Amino acid sequence: MSTQPSSEVQSVNGFDSPSDALAYIHSPVVQGLERVKTSLRDMVNHKSPFLAQLLDHALETKGKRVRPTLTLLAAGFHPNDGKRAETMATAVELLHIASLIHDDTVDQSEVRRGRATISKVWGGNAAVVLGDYLFATSATYVCDTGNIRVIRRFAETIKELSSGEMEEMVVRYDAEQSREQYFTRIYEKTASLFTTATESGAVLSDAPESTVKLLRDYGYSLGMAFQIVDDILDVEGLTDEIGKPVGNDLRHGVLTLPMILALERWPDSTVIRDYFAEPSDETLLESAMELISDPKVITDSYAVAEQYCQSARDSIMELPKNRSRDSLEALIDYVVVRRS
Ligand code: FPP
Ligand code: MG
């Protein structure tokens, strides 16, 4: 798909809506996902009432559960009892939730998934410590898999998440970044965990190395497409859809693909650079937002996401066709048409 999905387009390859597509994607691993949810819910019963309250807020979210779904689906290409993949899927989801809590604290974001952030309600200090608690808990789940390769990869992912976040801080309000710098940043920030989610599922199912590689490559490409679409939705989505304010990236000086493509397409336009030099100027912000919302920029941005989607498709086409593969395939289309 190289065309831009408009907000009216709600069908995904035969499904009536993105949520129907998501239900189809989840269906082969719905029991595993239910057990992940139960593990998260059980964590809320903590002896400290304050921590229990924070855990309740953090873990009772209506997320799409994309990352644990990837781990569970990736374990579906080699016979196994599924238990280690479920343990890993719990770790992956906890790591994701923890990193968002830290991200919202760093960014001073007030709303996530349509709800107040932990840092907004309980303050930055409590949010940082809660994030640490969840990171540490995720690590105990990974250790429970007993697989050193997966434990190492998980630790490397935390390093990549942190270095991606750090890089984003350093390059704020810098309009001179290349596409390559952007791709490295979104790999670290997002695709790294997607890669780990699929790779670990495959490793823990004892799949052969050739299968592990295909699923790792799929996770990488899907993660890149996912973050590019996230960055597009920040420009052309609606606040009610994405559950957080639109235009956040531009407002905070985070250079994303739509901005890079607008700068490439109109090298003589100075609005983005002018806004980055004068971030308190709301008129410049509006002009820059208008430039990057241009349909040509949005279409070009979706075309780049589609290249990653095609790589993801190429990777899984070499896997045996089964229900897990069907879901992984549907997930590629879902990532592009989703509105949240
Ligand atoms: C959200 O992306 C941010 C991330 C996926 C990564 C955040 C990583 C950290 C805060 C580092 C983690 C720290 C430790 C100790 C492991 P985004 O900002 O593009 O998305 P958003 O617009 O939804 O906030
Ligand atoms: Mg953020």
What residues are paired with 15 via a beta bridge?
12
Ligand 1 lined by 2 (C-beta under 6 Å): no
| Ligand 1 atom nearest to CA at 109 | 24
- What is the reported pTM? 0.94
What pLDDT, on a 0 to 100 scale, did the predictor assign at position 246? 85
Reported as a single tens digit per residue, the pLDDT across 89-111 is 999 999 999 999 999 999 899 99
Q: How many CA atoms lie within 13 A of 41 on its CB side?
A: 7
| Cα→Cα distances 322→210, 219, 251, 316, Å | 17, 18, 44, 11
- Residue located nearest, by CA, to atom 18 of ligand 1: 103
- CB of 190 closer than 6 A to ligand 1? yes
116-148 residue pLDDT tens = 999 999 999 999 999 999 999 999 999 999 999
How does 234-266 read in b/e, with b if 16+ C-beta sit within 10 Å?
bbbbeeeebbbebbbbbbebbbbbbbbbbbeee
Contact 187, 297 (CB under 8 A): no
Q: Is the CB of 102 under 6 A from ligand 1?
A: yes
Can you read off the two tokens belonging to residue 99?
């990193």
- Nearest ligand to residue 223 Cα: 1
Residues 6+ apart with CB under 8 A from 231: 186, 249, 256, 257, 258, 301
pLDDT of residue 213: 98
Residue 157 near ligand 1, beta carbon < 6 Å = no
Q: What is residue 223's predicted lDDT score, i.e. its pLDDT? A: 98
**What are the tokens at 33?**
């996902």
Ligand nearest to the CA of 112: 1
Ranges of residues in the chain with a pLDDT under 50 are 1-10
